[in-house]
Structures are given as structure tokens and as C-alpha cells.
Amino acid sequence: MSSFAPEVITHIGSFPITNTILNTLLIDSFLIGTTYAVTKKITMLPSKLQNAGEMLLETFYDMTASIAGERTKQIFPYFMTFFLFILVANWSGLLPGVSSIGFFEESHGKKELIPLIRGATSDVNTTFALAIISLVATHVMSIKTLGLKGYFSHFFTFSPIYFAPIFVFVGLLEVVSEFTKMISLSFRLFGNIYAGEVVLATVSNIFSFLFPLPFMLLEVIVGFVQALVFSMLTFVFMTIFTTPHHAEEHAREVNN
């Protein structure tokens, strides 16, 4: 893998189609097709595929319900969607042919391989887009659940009893921190996946048989962990921002 930026394969009009966009379309097709296959033949006596799907959903739904409570139905679809998409995207970069099948182009007097498909989450544009969706969905959900006053109470204190200029400054810092969340979410996911693919490519070029297998197993684990971290952080942010501010303060007092 030679660059951070994805390689352009073709154009639709003036819109560039990169190898990470192609991978994203394949992942979407896989997830939609699998979902359709599972839900089309739901029976009282489940098949192995249906049983596996139900176990996965039940495990994550119970995890969400244990923290989000009555807001589980709102939050769970985002939590599960982020997890499945990122997990498949991370693991797709480990499949044979991904990042290794393509065509050669001459660059600076040297022939360079341009892969037809590249892992979607090894592209910072993809991870940044996921982070934007995560934060926008969180704040929209907060406004719908708490209203504007309840939403802004997470940043600013409206009571004249507690008003002080320092609270305005702290509130502005909280607003800025929301943008830093977007950066940290995207770069954490991108950095781990991109670094892993670079290591695998380097090791595979030196040792083409057996030696890369432990590194591939490590990347399977890293791919799972990073998908879980991103989706869990989104889930936690949504839970916090849909909780009334006075309820948060009460919870802190009880914990103390």
C-alpha cells in the first residue's frame, strides 16, 4: 500500500470512483443480501444462519438495554449497524486479492500497482464520514428526545443561581470537544486498520508463506476490537446525550 489516499479507478461524470468506494459498495451489497437471506426464511425452527443471527442480535440488544434502558429501541439500530459495517469492512481487507489484484501504472519512472479493491476503513475519508454520521445522529437524537433546552443544558447552565462567566467558557469547551470526538473516532479506526495493512503487506513481501499467518490472526482480532470500540463509543455518546442533564447529576451524586 503506497499512499494514504485511495486510488481512483474510474469516473462517473466528474465524480471519482476509488477502490475504497468499490469496497464499500461490495460490503453494503453483502450486508443487505445477508439480511435479506436471513429475514426471508424466518421459521420457528431456525436454521444455522438464522440461529447465529438471532444470537448476535440478542447479545448486543441485551448489552444496549443494560445501559440505555428505555432508549434502547432508538440507539440499538445505530449501534448494530456501525458494528456490522465496520467489522465487515475491517475484515474485507484481509481477503485474498484485496489490495493485491489490480493494474500497473507508471509513476515517477516506476511501475506501481493500483489495486482494484482496497479496505474501506484504510481510507481516512471513510472513517471520517462514519464519525460525522455518528456525531450528527447523536445530536439529532438528543434534540428529538430532550428538546432544544434539554439538549443545550448538556453544554450550558441556564439557572441564574448557578450562572457565572466560567460556565459559559466551559460550555464552549464542551462544544469544541464534540468536534475533537469526530477526529479521534475517525483517526483511531483509520490508524489501526491502515497500520495493520501496511504491516501485512511488508511481511508478505518478505515471507510469502506461513510467517504472515500470525499477523493475519492479529488483524482479525484488531478488526473486531476496533469495530466494537467505534460502535460502543457511539452507543455511549447517544446514551449520554439522550439523558436529561439533571438525571446525569443525580446519577453522579448517587455514585459519589
Q: What is the DSSP annotation of 22-63?
A: HHHHHHHHHHHHHHHHHHHT--SS--HHHHHHHHHHHHHHHH
Query: Does the pLDDT of residue 249 top 70, yes or no?
Result: no
- When pLDDT is averaged across residues 238-247 and rounded to a whole number, the result is 79
44-48, 66-70, 76-80, 213-217: least confidently modelled range: 44-48
How many CB atoms neighbour CB 219 within 10 A? Answer: 22
- When pLDDT is averaged across residues 106-124 and rounded to a whole number, the result is 82
Question: What pLDDT, on a 0 to 100 scale, did the predictor assign at position 254?
Answer: 37
Closest to 153 measured CA to CA, from 164, 141, 142: 142
Query: Does the pLDDT of residue 140 top 80, yes or no?
Result: yes
Question: What pLDDT, on a 0 to 100 scale, did the predictor assign at position 164?
Answer: 55
Give the whole-angstrom CA distance, residue 210 versus residue 204.
9
* Residue 188: band (very low, low, confident or very high) from pLDDT cuts 50, 70, 90: very high
Give the whole-angstrom CA distance, residue 18 versus residue 20.
5
What are the angstrom distances between the C-alpha of 92 and each of 44, 87, 110, 117, 164? 32, 8, 28, 10, 52
- The answer to whether the beta carbons of residues 4 and 194 sit under 8 Å apart is yes
Query: Residue 159: is it exposed, middle or buried by C-beta count within 10 angstroms (0-12/13-18/19+)?
Result: exposed
Is the alpha carbon torsion for 215, 225, 131, 98 positive or negative?
positive
Q: Residue 65 contacts by C-beta under 8 Å, 6 or more apart in sequence?
A: 72
Query: Does the pLDDT of residue 19 top 80, yes or no?
Result: yes
SS3 state at 180:
helix
Mean pLDDT over each residue of the chain, to the nearest integer? 82
Query: Does the pLDDT of residue 196 top 80, yes or no?
Result: yes
Query: Does the pLDDT of residue 80 top 90, yes or no?
Result: yes
What are the angstrom distances between the C-alpha of 130 and each of 102, 185, 200? 27, 9, 24
Question: What pLDDT, on a 0 to 100 scale, did the predictor assign at position 56?
Answer: 86
Of the two residues 158 and 142, the one the predictor is more confident about is 142
- When pLDDT is averaged across residues 118-147 and rounded to a whole number, the result is 92
Question: What pLDDT, on a 0 to 100 scale, did the predictor assign at position 141?
Answer: 93
Q: Tell me what percent of the residues of the chain surpass a pLDDT of 90.
A: 32
Q: Can you say how many angstroms the Cα of residue 109 is from the centroid of all Cα atoms in its chain?
A: 38
22-26, 51-55, 251-255: least confidently modelled range: 251-255
Query: Does the pLDDT of residue 84 top 60, yes or no?
Result: yes
Give residue for cell 464542551.
Answer: 174
Query: Does the pLDDT of residue 255 top 50, yes or no?
Result: no
Query: Residue 197: is it exposed, middle or buried by C-beta count within 10 angstroms (0-12/13-18/19+)?
Result: buried
Longest dimension (CA), the chain: 71
